Amino acid sequence: MELNRRDFLKASGAGVGGIFLLNALSPAAMARTATIPPLKKQIGEGYTICPYDGSGCGFLVASEMKDGKLKVVNIEGDPDHPVNRGGNCSKGAAMRQLSADNPWRLSKVLYREPGGTEWVEKEWDWAIERIARNIKDTRDANFTTTDGEGNLVNRTDAIGNFGGSALDNEECYLLSKLTRALGIVYLEHHARI
């Protein structure tokens, strides 16, 4: 009898987190899990797609509420996913280290003033105000409405934009839309390099 992971969870009658941490596809693990009692703590299970290469592998993310924050407990390959079928490469296996627990993650807006020698933490409102002002000033001072031949061109050559294949589709779409509305033509990203 072949069971996929979800059938197994149903069959075992233990559809809560404890089993999640084991390799449910291995017969040995299946035998073991039948004797493990359900954990007291509920561990949420979410579904994600790997952020690394273009294979589009599926991953299951287990997380729990801790100190008011939803924290990652474990990430493993999604056995139902047709591409990776539960497997993961070294990067996929280490995906949980991208989480908020990683001390290298940025948690505040950083700002470096002209000629400055270090980063300074700033508030979002202050930064967005200043960023929008820079965009507007640079755009408006370097805007070509009509070119030398009298063609209406409505562009600025003074602002470049990079990114991004690391963004979701909906983010890419809005970035494409916003940059075009601003008249940006130096528009590039990972696909070229």
Question: Taking CB under 8 A as the criterion, which residues in 2-21 touch another protein?
Answer: none
Residue type, 102: N
The stretch among 10-18, 21-29, 34-42, 129-137 that binds another protein (CB under 8 A) is 129-137
Q: What span, in angstroms and rounded, lies between the C-alpha atoms of 74 and 27?
A: 21
DSSP, res 26: S
Buried b (16+ CB within 10 A) or exposed e, 15-35: eebebbeeebeeeeebeebee
Q: Which is nearer to another protein, 36 or 163 (CB)?
A: 163
| Strand, coil or helix: 28 | helix
**What six digits make up the tokens of 90?**
């070294």
Q: Which strands, in side-by-side order, build the sheet including 58-66?
A: 44-49, 58-66, 69-77
Tell me how crowded residue 14 is: count the other CB atoms within 10 A of its CB.
17
Binders of another protein among 61-100, rule CB under 8 A?
Answer: 61, 63, 69-72, 75, 80-85, 87, 89-91, 93-95, 97-100
CB of 28 to another protein, least distance (A): 22
Question: Cβ 50 to another protein, closest distance in Å?
Answer: 6
- CB nearer another protein, residue 23 or residue 179: 179
Count of residues of this chain found to bind another protein when the rule CB under 8 A is applied: 117
Site string for another protein, 28-47 (x = CB under 8 A): ----------------x-xx
Of the residues 11, 34, 36, 127, which one makes contact with another protein according to CB under 8 A = 127
- Least separation in angstroms between residue 103's CB and another protein is 9
Residue 37 or 150 with smaller CB distance to another protein: 150
Q: Work out which of 11, 34, 41, 55 binds another protein, going by CB under 8 A.
A: 55
Residues 128/88, Cβ–Cβ less than 8 Å: no
**Token pair in block for residue 159:** 């602002």
The answer to whether 144 touches 157, Cβ cutoff 8 Å, is yes
Least distance CB 100 / another protein (angstroms): 4
